[in-house]
Amino acid sequence: MRRERFPHPVPIGPSRTADGWSFTVWAPLASSLVLELPGSDLDPVDMRPDAEEPGYWRAEIEGLSAGSLYGFRVDRGPLRPDPASHFQPLGVHEPSALVDHEAFHWRNLAFKPLTMGEVILYELHIGAFTQEGSFQAAIARLDDLAELGVTAVEVMPVAQFPGERNWGYDGVHPYATQNSYGGPQGFKAFVDACHGRGLAVMLDVVYNHLGPEGNYLADFGPYFSARYTTPWGLALNFDGPHSDGVRNFFVQNALFWFRHYRIDGLRLDAVHSIHDEGPHHFLRELAEARDVFAQETGRRHLLMAESHLNSPRLVEVYAQNGLGLDAMWSDDFHHSVHAFLTGEREGYYQDHGSLEHVADTLEHGFAYEGQLSAYWKRAQGVSGRHLPPQAFINFLQTHDMTGNRAGGERLSTLIGFELAKAAAALLLLTPYTPLLFMGEEYAENNPFLYFVSHGDHGLVEAVRNGRKREFADFAWNKSPAESSEPADPQDEETFQRSKLDWDKRWQGLHARMLAFYRECIRLRKLLFTLANTSPHVDKISAGTFGPDTDAAELKHGLRALATDQAGVLALDMHFQAGHLLVIFNFSATPLDRLDSLLPRAPFMTEVLSSADARWGGPEDIITGRTENILYCPPASALVLADERLASYLM
């Protein structure tokens, strides 16, 4: 007889029952576990071991209500919050509070989850997204995002962290929504408001480590592994003794967000630091649990992984020994574009910098498919050419890429307005899943810096010194344009400087940039919904293509840049409805004879030029067709379409 697979999924934490509340805690090494109820007249309750689920303890109790405080003592130790607490109203060190999830009235239940091909992501930090820094204040800005045209917000982690300001990756209560943002009710109201505007919500979750302050999971069981470390401390125990309970804890966490908050997908932080050498990788177990949940509810949820490994296995199907996720972040696209446009070559940018790297990411997904990496000092990556473009998430800016600079500078600050527009077209008018970082759409020039509000003074000093060490591989602090020291993460002013200034959206070049982003997103939606198909994208890292170059060679060939044409990239895309050509002139020299560069170009119609005065471009530059000669100004993008496709787009 074939035995049932172990472990079984086990819901954990508090839950409502017909007569009261039940509590389930995983503490496999404990001899005793006591539930205490501070502030009530009820006596402590001895938890009982579950006879059918080894390592789990249970109790049921009447006389409690939403908001009641509780905690646990393991083997008569100090009172600790619930590892699966749903709310920490008094902070990370204090008792947990009960949440009645059935009490929230959802208004937008008809929202239809997105497929990966429909996703246009907008990453935001709740604390810095508005001056107030709350879920409620963020709701007031959702109309702006809907008008921009993005289809999904990606919310940086909201799991309870120490203090009131933090990026969120120091969270220590994975099930509890940050109290200073508005807690569980505030987050549900935010998600419901997003759905009411047609916006999906993707939540950033951290399954590779927990923060140091207020981290009491080790009191309950072997959540952590001494076999591995991460850059942020001990790794979680996904493959050692008693790891089944740890795996269940985090799988149940994902389902918790889907079930109680109607989250549409998860962004899985730094999965390369999820160490699992077991036969059934945790990420696959997570994806399979998601699939079962979808069968039960009829709603499929997306799983997107951040990884620097360039590993297609993350998104390959189970039958290919894949892990079954939906998409992965593409560092190669960002590093290639950033290094090329800024000239920075320090740290991880040393592997990038040529336009060919940019072109490789647009044709193949990755620039590194097994080539030797100077930064990693080994072969980097595996080919992902067989994957669909929506499996790659491309971006120009993120919290990491901006906030992990000494000065927190945004890309438009580094490269200027015109190049930033051309880069936006490169991101949005290619078939990969695009991600915008909050404020990017209007060229926000406030920095985004790293900030914390720890209560442990020793930890604060460790964080300050750690930030300085992190910048040792970079030359940013040697530049006259940037500060010699990184901003103090603990200083509240660092946090205040990182907030968006929404008034800029309607001013000068900021308003022009916003209009340009809107237009690019409009074109993107038209292009990549045609017959629900993605184009075949090829690179022409542009040299001089003469009139004798045939279509096949132009489509598939890669040519070296001519010395007088350096900095030019052309993308040739074919749809069922027609043919698109996008030319990027990243140089300081205008291209005034595109007919000699690209023979088909003069017979196509201009759809968009980033240099147009409508988008704040130079007013004395004439764009478009003049006597059958096309002109592409410096630092610009030019979009051309054949007659059939142009009539659809314009």
Catalytic residue, from 239, 264, 306, 444: name it: 306
Cβ atoms of 408 and 451 closer than 8 Å:
no
* Annotation marks residue 154 as catalytic: no
* Sheet with 56-61, edge to edge strand ranges: 13-16, 21-26, 56-61, 48-49
DSSP string, 378-406: EEE----TTS-GGGEEEES--HHHHHTSS
Pull the structure tokens for residue 218. Answer: 């080790």
Cβ atoms of 611 and 622 closer than 8 Å:
no
How open is the CA angle 516-522-523, to the nearest 5 degrees? 95
DSSP string, 523-568: HHHHHTTGGG-PPEEEEEE-----TT--HHHHHH---PPPGGGTTE
Catalytic residue, from 192, 204, 213, 269: name it: 269
Pull the structure tokens for residue 623. Answer: 């764009």
**Angstrom distance (rounded) from CA 80 to CA 211:** 16
Handedness of CA 450, 456, 461, 462 (dihedral sign): negative
Bridge partners of 327? 304
Handedness of CA 97, 101, 103, 106 (dihedral sign): positive
Pairing of strands 624-626, 629-631: antiparallel
Q: What is the 3-state secondary structure (H, E, C) of 335-353?
A: HHHHHHHHCCCCHHHHHCC
Handedness of CA 573, 575, 579, 580 (dihedral sign): negative
H-helix or E-strand spanning residue 121 = strand 121-124
Handedness of CA 458, 460, 465, 466 (dihedral sign): positive
Rg of the Cα atoms in the chain: 26
* Annotation marks residue 269 as catalytic: yes
10 Å CB burial of residue 137 (0-12, 13-18, 19+) is: middle
φ, ψ of residue 628 to 5 degrees: the values are: 65, 20
Q: Pinpoint the alpha helices (H) of 450-507.
A: 457-470, 492-497
**Angstrom distance (rounded) from CA 616 to CA 613:** 5
Cβ atoms of 77 and 70 closer than 8 Å:
no
Distances (CA, A) of 649 to 509, 520, 525, 537: 25, 11, 10, 18
Contact partners, residue 579, CB within 8 Å, separation at least 6? 572, 573, 600, 604, 641, 642, 645
Active site residues: 269, 306
